[in-house]
Amino acid sequence: MKLFNKNIHQYNFSLFIITLFISSINTSCQEVENNNMDLFVNIKSINPNDTNFSDLEPLKKILKDVDIVMLGEQSHGDGSTYEAKTRLIKFLHQEMGFDVLAFENIMFDGNKVWQEIKKGKDPLQSSQKGINKLWSSSKQCIPLFKYISSKKNTFHPLILTGIDNRTTSMFMRNYFLKDFETFLKPLDKKFIKGSVWKNFLNLFVKFPLYYSPEQNKDSILNFAKTYKRHLNLIKDKLKSLIHKNSDQTDNINFWIQQINGLNAWTDGLINKDDPYIPGIIRDSIMAENIIFLKNNYYKNHKIIVWAATAHLIKDSKGIDFESYNKNNIKRVGEYISEYYKNKVYVVGFTSAVGKMLNFVYQNVTDLSNPSKGSIEDILQSLNKEYLFIDFRNKNIKDIFDRNLNSKCLGNIELQNNWTKSLDGIFYIKTLEPSELY
């Protein structure tokens, strides 16, 4: 209470919220507005086709000096969140100069989808080949991929890419080695005819087989040791090519980053039976990929990241759940926020009531009602369908700077000081589930 009391005479709105916390008084919408409701951004719509962005205008001030906006999602089955994110992306692209969209998806695949879209191929079919079906097969994401296609030949396209590295996708299986060799051939024909390259081709194909439970620890370690040695030899070769091919520096660095990703996934393979290490490695390489995109491949561009909030949180140590609060777990958002400071802004999404698609079991489940005094309970009491809460606003941070329950991770209530983990929250009162087609 001390934190609240020191400002109680300065902010009438703070007094209102304190009263709400303590006694859960039902206050009318008009009374809220009379007590500085303008501290919150009142969002009028999450319809992706609504391009009257007057309600989003306050975000221009909030995000004025930001180069990376990270848009989370509670789970991977939140249809209303997808719609809200799509509308936000259109706003950021059209009104604030953001022009790269990086999914929590394989970087190589995202680039291939973008190449196909630029060539005029159907954006929905292309996205389903290279973007995780959690999004590419969701009806609520259709407007996003159509929008990306509609802007492909303009002076200000919305470029599609990814931040993840894996070897199991259709694009990776069918095109990665072919595209890599096509790139290397004019730079060093001798190398691609040598044993290092040929061995790498064989090892790349075999990699997924070592996730089989039939593989024992020794065979996995022997494979990983051989694979990593070849990956590092190829990486050294790529580095040596930069000096003679300065016009290809960006493309060479792209392939170096792909090798870094394969190396990381090999470390994940070695530790595949550990409940935490593969996830820790994955978050670290996704963060590294974002830094690569921002500092190299898309230098001087402004980037939007689309990923689960669980990856994007800036601080997970206070969350009352072991998979978040273990000391050695560091999330993408923590890496990126440490690196870019206030140039990055992390948005979490949450809802009071509604339904979500359980993407594991492919069934729709109800959200639990918010507990008394939780963030969703407070926001639901304001009688607004949609709100944006900026935790960088001192007046608002002073209100929420304490441990509170929230459903912004997995649509389950967890206690945390969310002002330390997120820069802002997009509130959607009623969540509709993702609909797959």
Question: DSSP string spanning 375-437?
Answer: HHHHHHTTT-SEEEEETTSHHHHHHH-S-EEEEEETTEEEEE-HHHH-SEEEEEEEEPBP-B-
Q: Encode pLDDT of 98-115 as tens digits.
A: 999 999 999 999 999 999
Look over the chain and give the mean of its residue pLDDT values, rounded to a whole number.
91
Per-residue model confidence (pLDDT) at position 15 = 41
Q: Encode pLDDT of 222-264 as tens digits.
A: 999 999 999 999 999 999 999 999 999 999 999 999 999 999 9
At the fourth CATH level, the homologous superfamily of domain 45-98+304-431 is EreA-like (biosynthetic domain) (3.40.1660.10)
For the entire predicted model, the pTM comes to 0.91
Q: Is the pLDDT of residue 282 over 50?
A: yes
Per-residue model confidence (pLDDT) at position 326 = 77
Question: Which has more confidence, 328 or 202?
Answer: 202
d(CA 390, CA 419): 9
| C-alpha closest to that of 29 among 391, 390, 274, 381 | 381
Question: Which has more confidence, 327 or 310?
Answer: 310
Per-residue model confidence (pLDDT) at position 49 = 97
Cβ–Cβ under 8 Å, residues 348 and 340: no
Residue 11: pLDDT band (50, 70, 90) is very low
Residue 98 DSSP label? -
Q: How many CB atoms lie within 10 A of CB 403?
A: 11
Q: Is the pLDDT of residue 28 over 60?
A: no
Q: Encode pLDDT of 32-73 as tens digits.
A: 344 456 689 999 999 999 999 999 999 999 999 999 999 999
Written as six digits, the tokens of 237 are: 């070769």
Residue 304: pLDDT band (50, 70, 90) is very high
